[in-house]
């Protein structure tokens, strides 16, 4: 079982072995700016489109689009997980397709069906690509993509939907700036005492991560972060709502004061750590749930790792929480010696 070596977080050779992963995270803001520049013509054309009867989104990050639009969208919204389209979709509806790889057979079928039915179609995809060929039509708005970054494409699509007055304001430059700030704060060259991602890795060094986000967007970020932590550590990492996590935390017995702190516990006895993703949502329910989880964790002597971002628009805060968690996962894998 790998032992977490915190000295590796400041070791240039160890950090260098993760350079490709760290560099990709650091370039997230640049990818958003690239996709936004590519989509200038498409973004300028959507403001004149009529308001649709309903919006149907398909493809990568469709659920993020739903999380952003549902609270304020003036028309019904559906995230569609299968190929094709629901039977009721027609010429009065808007179909949004995110297809950054350009060759997904299910999304090609969805785009082709939207064109056949005469629906408005906004599609983010590479040009040229197989799906771009099937999406050509008089009611199609193309948002060309180049980077293959699903989140970057989603940011541009959200900006387009805002211009159609279907969703909240999304400024791609502001989201990119948020990514850049995280890249600076979580840089491998920033000492662990000032680096929130390295601090998160230290908090999870020997723990079983339980990840919670209170708002809709923070909850989505928690699922992505849990996936990254599982891949980084080879351990189970659970993302769930407060009602599911509280019983898990409550079932943990307090530490024995005489336990050897240097003994690596068996996998089935590894203590959990609670990772709280706080995006500043201050409604009463979210605050109460966070307080409840903290109280249960404190009663069981469980470490709480707080990742907080309370400044900026909704998507800016989501981006910062997600990116900090992804950096933390990479540093966890470095400390565990899993990056070779």
Asked if the structure places residue 156 within a domain, the reply is yes
Asked if the structure places residue 199 within a domain, the reply is yes
pLDDT tier at 330, thresholds 50, 70, 90: very high
Q: What is the pLDDT of residue 264?
A: 52
Predicted confidence (pLDDT) per residue in 33-74, tens digit: 999 999 999 999 998 899 999 999 999 899 999 999 988 999
Q: Report whether 32 contacts 176 (CB < 8 A).
A: yes
Mark whether 158 and 40 lie in a shared domain.
yes
Mark whether 231 and 147 lie in a shared domain.
no
Mark whether 163 and 213 lie in a shared domain.
no
Q: What is the mean pLDDT of residues 129-154?
A: 94
Residue 20 has pLDDT above 90, yes or no: yes
Mark whether 167 and 192 lie in a shared domain.
no
CATH number at residue 120: 3.40.50.10490
Which own/partner contact pairs does 45-49 have at CB distance under 8 Å and 24+ positions apart? Answer: 45/141, 46/122, 46/141, 46/160, 46/161, 46/163, 46/164, 47/163, 47/164, 49/94, 49/120, 49/141, 49/164
Total-model pTM = 0.92
What element of type H or E holds 339?
none
Q: What is the mean pLDDT of residues 298-305?
A: 95
| Domain assignment of residue 144, given as a range | 30-173
Domain count, the chain: 2
Mark whether 145 and 196 lie in a shared domain.
no
Mean of pLDDT over the chain:
93
Q: What is the pLDDT of residue 47?
A: 86
In this structure, what token pair is assigned to residue 19?
A: 């350079």
Asked if the structure places residue 34 within a domain, the reply is yes
User: Percent of the chain, pLDDT > 70?
Assistant: 95
Asked if the structure places residue 101 within a domain, the reply is yes
Mark whether 112 and 54 lie in a shared domain.
yes
Mark whether 197 and 290 lie in a shared domain.
yes
Q: What is the pLDDT of residue 257?
A: 55
Asked if the structure places residue 287 within a domain, the reply is yes
In this structure, what token pair is assigned to residue 287?
A: 């605050």
Q: Is 300 helix (H, G, I), strand (E, B) or coil?
A: coil
Q: What is the mean pLDDT of residues 134-153?
A: 94
Asked if the structure places residue 236 within a domain, the reply is yes
Q: Report whether 211 contacts 229 (CB < 8 A).
A: yes
Asked if the structure places residue 118 within a domain, the reply is yes
Q: What share of the chain is helix, strand, coil (3-state, %, to 5)?
A: 50, 15, 35
């Amino acid at each position: 079982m790998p032992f977490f070596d915190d000295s590796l977080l400041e070791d240039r050779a160890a950090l260098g072995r993760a350079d490709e992963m760290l560099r990709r995270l650091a370039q997230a803001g640049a990818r958003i700016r690239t996709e936004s520049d590519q989509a200038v013509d498409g973004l300028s054309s959507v403001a004149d489109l009529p308001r649709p009867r309903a919006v149907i989104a398909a493809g990568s990050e469709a659920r993020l689009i739903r999380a952003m639009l549902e609270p304020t969208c003036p028309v019904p919204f559906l995230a569609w997980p299968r190929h094709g389209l629901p039977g009721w979709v027609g010429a009065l509806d808007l179909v949004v397709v995110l297809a950054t790889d350009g060759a997904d057979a299910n999304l090609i079928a969805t785009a082709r069906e939207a064109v056949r039915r005469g629906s408005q179609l906004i599609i983010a995809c590479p040009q040229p690509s197989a799906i771009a060929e099937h999406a050509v039509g008089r009611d199609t708005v193309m948002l060309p993509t180049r980077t293959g970054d699903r989140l970057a494409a989603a940011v541009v699509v959200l900006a387009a939907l805002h211009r159609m007055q279907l969703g909240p304001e999304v400024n791609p430059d502001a989201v990119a700036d948020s990514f850049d700030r995280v890249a600076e704060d979580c840089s491998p060259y920033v000492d662990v005492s000032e680096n929130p991602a390295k601090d998160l890795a230290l908090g999870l060094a020997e723990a079983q991560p339980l990840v919670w986000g209170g708002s809709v967007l923070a909850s989505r970020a928690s699922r992505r972060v849990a996936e990254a932590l599982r891949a980084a550590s080879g351990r189970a990492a659970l993302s769930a709502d407060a009602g599911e996590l509280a019983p898990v935390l409550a079932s943990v017995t307090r530490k024995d004061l005489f336990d050897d702190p240097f003994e690596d516990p068996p996998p089935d006895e590894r203590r959990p750590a609670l990772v709280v993703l706080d995006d500043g949502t201050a409604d009463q329910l979210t605050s109460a749930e966070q307080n409840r989880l903290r109280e249960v964790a404190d009663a069981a002597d469980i470490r709480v790792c707080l990742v907080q971002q309370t400044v900026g628009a909704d998507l800016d805060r989501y981006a910062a929480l997600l990116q900090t968690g992804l950096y933390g996962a990479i540093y966890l894998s470095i400390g565990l010696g899993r990056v070779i």
